[in-house]
């Protein structure tokens, strides 16, 4: 049995990355802390997925439209509807910047799924929605914003933050950006992170 520390995986003993651990167990019953890899192997065994193969992908650095570099960590996760790969950019304060997700068949080719994810990342990084204006960040001329809704652990209210171009923007700040469009109308659509938008 590997030596255990309070935050290490209870199966392999390795400390999981902060965004890649799972409390695995029945609701209300005891749960075990597992790293993403051990969780997937356990889920595959329980689900009888003989062809599922877990792969740990190395971090990848990609540049955005302005030449800024972003380092992405990957997380592979088996769930009821298939397998998901997430690409997560972790900021220095451990908050998440850019995030991308694809979902595929659990016994399909993970490398093919990763290729699909990288294409999606490239497309996502190529378009920027904010630009620096005279009064700070503003919505660019195209008038389109793609964003992710996140909670704000440091906020005094339960208002979310939005992540646009990999940057966390407070709800107030976003309101200020939209305020320059007074009298315009807009369309708000909500999509799962795995959708193409």
Residues in contact with Zn ion by CB under 5 A are: 9, 11-12, 35, 38
Nearest distance from C-beta of residue 87 to Zn ion, angstroms: 21
- Per DSSP bridges, beta strands 31-35 and 60-63 are unpaired
Nearer to Zn ion, 38 or 103 (CB): 38
Signed CA dihedral, 87, 148, 116, 34: sign only: positive
Coil, helix or strand at residue 53: coil
What is each CA distance from 58 to 13, 40, 61, 95, in whole angstroms?
20, 17, 10, 20
Backbone phi, then psi, for 116, in 5-degree steps? -65, -40
Nearer to Zn ion, 9 or 145 (CB): 9
CB of 41 to Zn ion, least distance (A): 8
CB of 33 to Zn ion, least distance (A): 9
**How many Å apart are CA 123 and CA 169, to the nearest integer?**
21
Structural element, H or E, at residue 60: strand 60-63
Between 41 and 163, whose beta carbon lies closer to Zn ion? 41
Q: Which is nearer to Zn ion, 42 or 152 (CB)?
A: 42
Tokens of 19: 């965004």
In the complex, the smallest distance separating the C-beta of residue 14 from Zn ion, rounded to whole angstroms, is 5
Residue closer to Zn ion (CB basis): 9 or 85: 9
Q: Considering Cα of 123, then 127, then 130, then 131, what sign does the dihedral take? A: positive
For residue 54, the minimal CB distance to Zn ion (Å) is 10
Q: Which helix (H) or strand (E) holds 103?
A: strand 96-104
């Amino acid at each position: 049995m590997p030596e255990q520390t309070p935050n290490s995986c209870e199966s392999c003993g390795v400390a999981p990355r902060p965004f890649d651990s799972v409390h695995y167990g029945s609701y209300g019953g005891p749960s075990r802390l597992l790293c993403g890899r051990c969780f997937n192997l356990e889920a595959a065994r329980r689900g009888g997925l003989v062809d599922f193969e877990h792969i740990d992908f190395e971090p990848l650095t990609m540049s955005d439209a302005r030449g800024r570099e972003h380092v992405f960590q990957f997380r592979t996760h088996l769930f009821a509807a298939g397998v998901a790969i997430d690409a997560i950019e972790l900021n220095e304060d451990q908050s998440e910047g850019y995030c991308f997700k694809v979902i595929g068949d659990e016994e399909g080719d993970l490398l093919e799924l990763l290729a699909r994810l990288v294409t999606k990342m490239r497309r996502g990084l190529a378009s920027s929605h904010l630009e620096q204006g005279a009064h700070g960040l503003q919505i660019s001329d195209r008038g389109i914003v793609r964003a992710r809704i996140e909670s704000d652990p440091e906020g005094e209210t339960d208002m979310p933050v939005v992540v646009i171009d990999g940057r966390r923007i407070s709800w107030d700040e976003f309101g200020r950006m939209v305020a320059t469009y007074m009298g315009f109308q807009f369309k708000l659509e909500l999509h799962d992170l795995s959708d193409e938008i």
